[in-house]
């Protein structure tokens, strides 16, 4: 099947020709006719499956020119990176159409965005909070929206945007077509759909929770941070065709730590991106990774979701994700649009639980490979990896901070030192042998 087999409009075919896109991906082929029939749709598709085009194409195909300056197509996404990406995808498809598209997101000046909205838009892409603010202050009118897409609804809900979504619905006309996309059909997503939509048609790129078939998955058992760094160096030096490597870590602090470790050997070909970095820095890092200036990009989960990078050769999970669905999202960044990719995961002993959750979500085991003998493993743990000393059930109290001498001498009665009652010792003193307390 080619895009010519879909009942598209000429300007869209021309744009697709320019882009060199010939064949629709699975989700695009599966959802097109359903969406064109006007029915509410729920698409189960991960990033990298071509899901963005899967909803943009029918939306643009059904779009009709109108003198109304208010958006007919509203696309709600969880992060500002994704806003930028979706706006770009719409722009790529509309060089031959008279469609105005704009993106709005929080953390930037609202007046500038309000002015852009007031100038008139056909397609508005935005994060829930900012869309709501603009609708509430009257800059944005949503009553003309005919198509409403909620992309990555699972992430949107897990970021706590449920209330904002429901309030946005109040601004929307009752008669509209909803298209909801999610990487997985979690309980939270199912509940949300059930409560807000009447029997949507379900289309899937891959079965909910299945890893994409064209991704080769490999696991390595690695005990700690420093050993992981060694293995990462080794893999980068010894893996053929590892020209675009996306490395995932668990936290912003770890992202910065790993960046420092890798910077000396990779020099200017490694970048880092997480939500503590300024917007410009984030866009530049992604740009450098996309254009090949950076061979390696170190990222945290949330940020990596929205970034638009193609042809990622390898995804490396330096840390295993705690939320199993994130594993699917992460590895979905390689093997994009039906291309082959490799996903490598470093697993330490403490990750056993997280690994088994991922494996049961995928309904398959992660195949493990021996760490090559050249890689120097160490037992040394960094401060954050050291186990916290614990009394069963209680955390050890940290030593009190030193403070200067008190203003006044304590009164004699307050000078008494508190001695903890030790039942075992009391029994020993009394009976000369340990005695159990009776219940």
Interaction site with ligand AMP (CB under 6 A): 21, 23-25, 28, 47-53, 310, 336-337
Q: How far is the CB of 297 from ligand AMP (least distance, A)?
A: 16
DSSP letter for each residue of 320-359: --SSHHHHHHHHTTBSGGG--EEEEEEE-GGGHHHHHHHH
Q: How far is the CB of 207 from ligand AMP (least distance, A)?
A: 17
CB closer to ligand AMP, 21 vs 259: 21
Q: How far is the CB of 337 from ligand AMP (least distance, A)?
A: 3
Q: How far is the CB of 330 from ligand AMP (least distance, A)?
A: 13
Give the separation between CA 259 and CA 264, rounded to whole angstroms: 9
CB closer to ligand AMP, 47 vs 164: 47
Give the separation between CA 359 and CA 337, rounded to whole angstroms: 24
CB closer to ligand AMP, 326 vs 348: 326
SS3 271: strand
Q: How far is the CB of 54 from ligand AMP (least distance, A)?
A: 7
DSSP label at residue 209: T
Give the separation between CA 132 and CA 167, rounded to whole angstroms: 7
Q: Is 310 left (phi over 0), alpha (psi -120 to 50) or beta?
A: beta
Q: How far is the CB of 402 from ligand AMP (least distance, A)?
A: 55
Q: How far is the CB of 19 from ligand AMP (least distance, A)?
A: 7
Angle between the N-to-C axes of helices 51-62 and 10-19, in degrees from 0 to 180, rounded to the nearest 10: 150
CB closer to ligand AMP, 20 vs 432: 20
Give the separation between CA 16 and CA 94, rounded to whole angstroms: 10
Q: How far is the CB of 336 from ligand AMP (least distance, A)?
A: 5
CB closer to ligand AMP, 50 vs 71: 50
CB closer to ligand AMP, 265 vs 310: 310
Please enumerate in sequence order all residues whose Cβ is within 8 A of that of 128, keeping only pairs 6 or more positions apart, or say none: 76, 78, 156, 161, 164, 165, 168
Q: CB–CB of 135/164 below 8 Å?
A: no
Give the separation between CA 73 and CA 76, rounded to whole angstroms: 10
Q: How far is the CB of 45 from ligand AMP (least distance, A)?
A: 7
**Residue 316 CB: number of other CB atoms within 10 A?**
27
The helix, strand and coil proportions of the chain, stated in percent and rounded to the nearest 5, come to 40, 15, 40
Give the separation between CA 367 and CA 223, rounded to whole angstroms: 17
**Residue 379 CB: number of other CB atoms within 10 A?**
8
CB closer to ligand AMP, 222 vs 343: 343
Q: How far is the CB of 173 from ligand AMP (least distance, A)?
A: 27
Q: Is 199 left (phi over 0), alpha (psi -120 to 50) or beta?
A: left
Structure tokens at 439: 């219940």
CB closer to ligand AMP, 47 vs 94: 47
Q: How far is the CB of 67 from ligand AMP (least distance, A)?
A: 31
Hunting for tokens 């004699």 — which residue is that?
412
CB closer to ligand AMP, 50 vs 58: 50
CB closer to ligand AMP, 216 vs 308: 308
CB closer to ligand AMP, 48 vs 223: 48
Structure tokens at 93: 């498809």
Angle among Cα 320, 255, 211 to the nearest 5 degrees reads 30
Structure tokens at 108: 């930037």
Give the separation between CA 218 and CA 210, rounded to whole angstroms: 16
CB closer to ligand AMP, 113 vs 285: 285
Q: How far is the CB of 16 from ligand AMP (least distance, A)?
A: 8
Give the separation between CA 180 and CA 166, rounded to whole angstroms: 14
Please enumerate in sequence order all residues whose Cβ is within 8 A of that of 329, keeping only pairs 6 or more positions apart, or say none: 46, 47, 183, 301, 304, 305
């Amino acid at each position: 099947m080619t895009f010519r087999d879909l009942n598209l409009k000429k300007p869209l075919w021309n744009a697709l020709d320019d882009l060199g896109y010939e064949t629709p991906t699975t989700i695009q082929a599966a959802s097109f006719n359903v969406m064109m029939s006007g029915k509410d749709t729920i698409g189960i598709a991960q990033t990298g499956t071509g899901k963005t085009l899967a909803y943009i194409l029918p939306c643009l195909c059904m779009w009709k020119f109108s003198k109304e300056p208010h958006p007919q197509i509203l696309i709600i996404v969880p992060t500002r990176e994704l806003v930028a990406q979706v706006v770009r995808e719409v722009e790529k498809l509309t060089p031959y159409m008279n469609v105005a598209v704009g993106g709005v997101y929080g953390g930037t000046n609202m007046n500038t965005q309000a002015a852009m909205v007031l100038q008139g838009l056909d397609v508005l892409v935005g994060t829930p909070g900012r869309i709501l603010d603009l609708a509430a202050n009257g800059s944005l009118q949503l009553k003309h929206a005919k198509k409403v897409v909620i992309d990555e609804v699972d992430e949107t809900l897990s970021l706590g945007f449920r209330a904002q979504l429901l309030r946005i619905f109040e601004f929307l006309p009752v008669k509209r077509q909803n298209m909801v996309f999610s990487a997985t059909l979690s309980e939270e997503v199912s509940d949300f759909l059930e409560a807000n939509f009447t029997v949507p048609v379900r289309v899937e790129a891959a079965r909910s929770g299945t890893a994409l078939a064209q991704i080769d998955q490999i696991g390595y058992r690695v005990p700690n941070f420093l050993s992981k760094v060694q293995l990462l160096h080794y893999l980068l030096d010894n893996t053929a065709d590892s020209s675009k490597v996306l490395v995932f870590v668990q936290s912003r602090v770890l992202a910065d730590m790993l960046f420092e470790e890798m910077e000396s050997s990779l020099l200017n070909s490694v970048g880092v991106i997480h939500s503590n970095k300024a917007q410009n820095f984030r866009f530049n890092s992604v740009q450098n990774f996309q254009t090949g200036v950076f061979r390696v990009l170190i990222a945290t989960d949330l940020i990596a979701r929205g970034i638009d990078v193609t042809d990622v050769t390898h995804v490396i999970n330096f840390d295993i994700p705690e939320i199993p669905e994130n594993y699917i999202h992460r590895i979905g960044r390689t093997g994009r649009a039906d291309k082959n990719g490799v996903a490598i995961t470093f697993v330490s002993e403490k990750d056993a639980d997280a690994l088994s959750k991922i494996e049961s979500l995928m309904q398959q085991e992660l195949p493990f490979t021996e760490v090559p003998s050249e890689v120097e493993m160490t037992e040394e743990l960094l401060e954050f990896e050291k186990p916290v000393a614990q009394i069963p059930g209680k955390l050890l109290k940290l030593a009190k901070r030193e403070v200067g001498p008190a203003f006044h001498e304590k009164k004699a009665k307050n000078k008494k030192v508190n001695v903890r009652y030790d039942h075992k010792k009391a029994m020993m003193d009394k009976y000369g042998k340990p005695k159990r307390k009776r219940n």
